Amino acid sequence: MAVNRFRLENDLEELALFQIQLLKDLSHKENEEDKVSSSSFRHRMLGNLLRPPYKRPELPPALYVIGLTGISGSGKSSVAQRLKGLGAFVIDCDQLGHRAYAPGGPAYQPVVEAFGTDILHKDGIINRKVLGSRVFGNKKQLKMLTDIMWPVIAKLAREEMDLAVAEGKHVCVIEAAVLLEAGWQNMVHEVWTIVIPETEAVRRIVERDGLSEAAAQSRLQSQMSGQQLVDQSHVVLSTLWEPHVTQSQVEKAWALLQKRVDAIKP
């Protein structure tokens, strides 16, 4: 219309105008754009199997194991609880770490011997803040700690798997921020990753842990990026939208998973 006004002012013939409506997306969902877009198609990939599962003949034959990971603040625990609500047996590797660190736990003595008694509270419990400050930003010290902790946590996770089998569970979820860094993908059939933008992760970490934005960003920089995790994942989910949208994603992923589990049941 603006062009035609210009043309009329210059004694030129008006151009004919034809209005073409945007193509409607018949599969449109509430968290997607109104128009047909690649963004909407990516949304629909969430929950789908992206690559063939690992064959793990060494795992308990009646158990299908999912490794659930994602950057800090991505919502791993929330998704783990949703999967638990659908019938999965959930193993929280952070809790296993707490158990391993406790006095009498399998990692307690090796950690104290490696880092000294000045990492202990007066009551003998390991002060994880002091230990964390010792290893943060120090690759050599961090490797010393992970060389002790990761095998111990993996062993505890395998014991939890046996418990899942004893309870008659068919799906086990190992929730672990360091799943891939620790090499624990060798204990799972599939890796599921929760993705959110880094800016949202920073906002959540600041809100949840009371850290500064700089500290939150520093924490994320010390982890594998979301893209690195996705590149090694079988299923990708996102907690970016409202809780009921996350729930529908998880239910979709769970329903598709059941078909795969049924296919390998002995």
Q: Quick one: pLDDT at residue 155?
A: 97
The verdict on residue 11 lying in a domain is no
Mean pLDDT in residue range 90-119: 96
- Residues whose CB is less than 8 angstroms from the CB of residue 4 and which lie 6 or more positions away in sequence, other chains included: 14, 15, 17
Contact 171, 261 (CB under 8 A): yes
Confidence band (pLDDT; 50, 70, 90) for 52? Answer: very high
Q: Is the pLDDT of residue 25 over 90?
A: no
194 Cβ contact list (under 8 Å, min separation 6): 68, 69, 70, 74, 75, 76, 79, 236, 237, 238, 239
174 and 245 within one domain? yes
- The verdict on 239 and 186 lying in the same domain is yes
Query: For the segment 203-257, what is each residue's pLDDT rounded down to a tens digit?
Result: 999 999 998 999 999 889 888 998 999 999 999 999 999 999 999 999 999 999 9
Tokens of residue 136, six digits: 């943060």
Total count of domains within the chain: 2
pLDDT at 266: 60
Query: What pLDDT digit, counting tens, does each position of 160-212 carry?
Result: 999 999 999 999 999 999 999 999 999 999 999 999 999 999 999 999 999 89
* pLDDT above 70 (res 31): no
Report the CATH number at residue 69.
3.40.50.300
Residues 175, 258 share a domain: yes
Pairwise CA distance, residues 179 & 229, whole Å:
10
Are 126 and 157 within one domain? yes
The vertex-195 CA angle with 258 and 218, nearest 5°, equals 140
Asked whether residue 183 falls in the same domain as residue 145, the answer is no
Same-domain check for residues 56 and 142: no
Domain shared by 154 and 175, yes or no: no
Tell me, yes or no, whether 229 and 181 share the same domain.
yes
- Domain end residue (candidates: 120, 136, 168): 168
| Model pLDDT, residue 41 | 72
Average pLDDT over residues 126-154: 93
Residues 181 and 162 occupy one common structural domain: no
Which of 168, 189, 207 represents a domain boundary (last residue)? 168
Residues in the chain: 266
Residue 30's pLDDT is what? 63
Structural domain including 109 reads 96-168
* Cα maximum dimension of the chain: 93
What b/e sequence results for 144-176 when a residue is b if at least 16 CB atoms lie within 10 Å of its CB, and e otherwise? bbeebbbebbbebbeebbeebbeeebbbbbbbb
pLDDT category, 26, cuts 50, 70, 90? low
Per-residue model confidence (pLDDT) at position 254: 98
According to the model, what pLDDT value does residue 262 have? Answer: 85
The mean predicted confidence, pLDDT, of the chain is 91
- Contact in structure between 119 and 127 (CB atoms under 8 Å): yes
Residue 31 lies in a domain: no
**Residues 235, 242 contacting (CB under 8 angstroms):** no
Q: pLDDT digit string (tens) for 128-138?
A: 889 988 998 88
Q: Give me the mean pLDDT over the 150-157 stretch.
A: 97
Residues 81 and 175 in one domain: yes
pLDDT at 132: 87
Residue 36 lies in a domain: no
Q: Is the pLDDT of residue 37 over 60?
A: no
**Residue whose token pair is 């000294």:** 116
Question: How confident is the model at residue 187, as a pLDDT?
Answer: 96
Band (pLDDT 50/70/90 cuts) for residue 33 is low
Is the full-model pTM beyond 0.85? Answer: no
Residues 141 and 188 in one domain: no
Final residue belonging to a domain, choices 146, 168, 190: 168
In a domain, 159, yes or no: yes
Same domain assignment for residues 129 and 178: no
Per-residue pLDDT, 34: 62
Does residue 39 lie in a domain region? no
